[in-house]
Each structure stands twice: as structure tokens, then as C-alpha cells.
Amino acid sequence: MKSWLPIIFIFIAIIYWQDIALKMGPPPEVPAQHNDKVVMYSASWCGYCKKMRKLFNDNNIAFLEYDIETSREGREQYDKLRGKIIPLVLIKGEVIRGYKPKKVMSLLEDV
């Protein structure tokens, strides 16, 4: 049984590798590019992206938006941030995946 433990551990690590990589944080070059800006990676058809835009506009929050379907630069950054879901928001180097207004507003309190 003990000889199976390393194999089981490796198998579990392979299955959950994406989740493990996300916990380690984004690559440093993307957040460094935007310093203290609020950046949203989105798509024109996305309803939650529309809600996030409205949240920013209603609260007079300046933000930079990349449509990942039409902007090559935006898509490259989104991929470097290991994007799998939209909207993906970058605030002060922290990545927020999906529509999470409370998390966004808590991060923006200090901006």
C-alpha cells in the first residue's frame, strides 16, 4: 500500500494542477504592467461583464477594459493570468474571477 501513495499523490497533483497554479497568484509581469489601475477582461456578449461595467460606472470607478475576443493584447494578458472565466478583474495585483461585487468593492476601498 505504501508504494501506491506517491502514485496517488502525483495523480491528485496532476488533476488539481490548475487550481494549485491559481492559488500561487498571477505572473508578476501582468499586474506590474497596470500598476494601480483597475483592469477588466471581458466579452461583449457576457451578462456578468455588463453587470461589472455597471458597477464600475455607477460608482465612478475608472477602469481599463479588454475584450478578450477582439483585443490580442487583452487575450494574451488574460491567458497569462490563467483566465478561464469572465469577467476577470485585476485590482492592485489581485485577480478576481467572475462577478464578485463585494470583493471588488472591498479592494477598491483603499484605492
- What CATH code is carried by the domain that includes residue 84? 3.40.30.10
Count the domains in the chain.
Answer: 1
d(CA 1, CA 71): 52
pTM: 0.71
Q: What average pLDDT does range 20-25 have in this prediction?
A: 60
pLDDT at 110 over 80: no
Which range marks the domain in which residue 86 is found? 26-108
Position 60 in a domain: yes
d(CA 111, CA 94): 13
Q: Which of 4, 108, 5 is nearest to 59 (CA)?
A: 108
pLDDT at 27 over 60: no
pLDDT, tens digit, 9 for 90 and up, residues 35-60: 678 999 999 999 999 999 999 999 99
Average of per-residue pLDDT values in the chain: 83
